[in-house]
Amino acid sequence: MKRIKIAIVGLHYGKHIIETQILSGKASDFFELTAVCSLEKDDVSEVAVRYGVRGFTDLDEMLREGDFECVGLFTGPAGRADQIKAIVRAGKDIITTKPFEESSSSAKKALRELVNLNKVLCTNSPYPIMPDDIKQIYAWIEKYDLGRAISAQCFTWANYREKHDGSWYDQRELCPVAPVFRIGIYALNDLIQLFGAIESVSVVESRIFTERPTPDNANMSLKFSNGLIANVLASFCIGDDSPYPDSMVLGFENGVIYRNVGPQAIWPRKEIEMTVQAKTVSDKIVTERKTICSEKLSGAYLWGNYYDMIKNREVPSPDYVERLLGSIKVFETVNRSYNLNDIRTDKVCENVEDYDLSLV
């Protein structure tokens, strides 16, 4: 199997991807690093020399002169749409990360151009295809006739003690409801995939340990168009040596689904447990458990799938575009209001044709 040549843009997080995924992790079977790019000249020089690849400090120069088929784009979300347009105009496919962009209108224009040029986009959240944990939730909903979704409680955390550094993490307009925007967004994207359009949103947040001007502890409450009420709690203040649980409790008419709820024995975790407890038509209570490999979860970088998508030229579907834009609109709404107890958002999708880029 011939590997796909990849260039990494943005070395603040991109260096982590190179060292843990591309050179020695799961991506090494599918992708070959050939170039790196960052505005930080010292970082570029250090990484390029260490791994024997070409280094650039200018994206346009790299797109003209580099030898690669795909770009791993790991810059901050602000202005990413312009980078995406430059990359696809140069004939390259893209792998990138959450958050996708700050502006839904800019994101939509970039996605339209990407689709029209028949280029492939892969993100780790929202995921372009259905990951195994979301598949299991849908399977249990059908198998046990769980009925209407009523509530969702999602929570995740890490143990950070961050200092002000002038990055986009410090800017409220670029990093709204910071813990949710940075690590709670996985759960938000999962909820949009499962339950669709969001009607309204409110947030509460606090600063406990951080020295950044943005919060390190936050909760986002969401009302979905189908009546479901959800909470996404994300914190940088909790330390149990097992961060990023991405736990979820989903309540339905006839049962409850639990994703990765309870103490975590091992970090980094290799798998999670999912459980459903449901009431049958004969009022019998049934419980079923499934173990899901961490490499196949929502939020993971599924490099084998990315490779297949690029080789098969799988451009973004309308559903994928809708989900990409959905969480962006939520945070746009937060940014429009400074009254954190009364923030409202438009529906994620008024008309599916608005997101069907093939119609443009």
Cβ atoms of 260 and 292 within 8 Å: the answer is no
Intervals of CATH 3.30.360.10 along the chain: 132-296
Share of the chain above pLDDT 90, in %: 85
Least Cα distance to 107 among 85, 129, 74 occurs for 85
Please state the rounded mean pLDDT for residues 183-195: 97
Please state the rounded mean pLDDT for residues 120-129: 94
Confidence of residue 109 (pLDDT cuts 50, 70, 90): very high
State the angle between helix axes of 104-116 and 318-336 in degrees (0 to 180), rounded to the nearest 10. 160
pLDDT at 345: 53
Cβ atoms of 34 and 7 within 8 Å: the answer is yes
SS3 content of the chain, % helix, strand, coil (to 5): 35, 25, 40
pLDDT at 160 over 90: yes
Q: What does the angle CA 5 – CA 7 – CA 10 come to, to the nearest 5 degrees? A: 160
pLDDT at 156 over 50: yes
Whether omega for the bond prior to residue 268 falls within 30 degrees of 0, making it cis, is yes
pLDDT at 360 over 70: no
Options 3.90.1170.50, 2.40.33.10, 3.40.50.720, 3.40.640.10; CATH for 4-128+301-316 is 3.40.50.720
pLDDT at 295: 86
Please state the rounded mean pLDDT for residues 103-121: 96
pLDDT at 101 over 60: yes
Alpha helices in the chain (DSSP H): 11-17, 41-51, 59-65, 80-89, 104-116, 132-143, 178-179, 185-195, 303-311, 318-336
For the chain, helix (H) and strand (E) counts, in that order, are: 10, 14
**Integer Rg of the chain from CA:** 20
Confidence of residue 298 (pLDDT cuts 50, 70, 90): confident
Please state the rounded mean pLDDT for residues 146-155: 98
Mean pLDDT, all residues of the chain: 92
- Quote the CA–CA distance of 126 and 323 in Å, as a whole number: 7
- The SS3 call for residue 98 is coil
pLDDT at 224 over 70: yes
pLDDT at 114 over 60: yes
The amino acid at residue 193 is Q
Per-residue model confidence as pLDDT tens digits over 24-69: 888 999 999 999 999 999 999 999 999 999 999 999 999 999 999 9
Pairing of strands 4-9, 31-37: parallel
Please state the rounded mean pLDDT for residues 13-21: 95
Which strands, in side-by-side order, build the sheet including 217-224? Answer: 198-206, 217-224, 229-235, 149-157, 247-252, 255-259, 271-279, 285-293
pLDDT at 116 over 70: yes
Which CATH superfamily, name and number, covers 132-296? Dihydrodipicolinate Reductase; domain 2 (3.30.360.10)
Per-residue model confidence as pLDDT tens digits over 312-357: 999 999 999 999 999 999 999 998 874 445 555 544 444 444 544 4
Instruction: State the DSSP string of 34-67.
Output: EEEE-S-HHHHHHHHHHHT-EEES-HHHHHHH--
Structure tokens belonging to residue 74? 């790991």
Per-residue model confidence as pLDDT tens digits over 242-257: 999 999 999 999 999 9
Phi then psi for residue 347, to 5 deg, are -60, 150
pLDDT at 194 over 60: yes
Please state the rounded mean pLDDT for residues 259-273: 87
Intervals of CATH 3.40.50.720 along the chain: 4-128+301-316
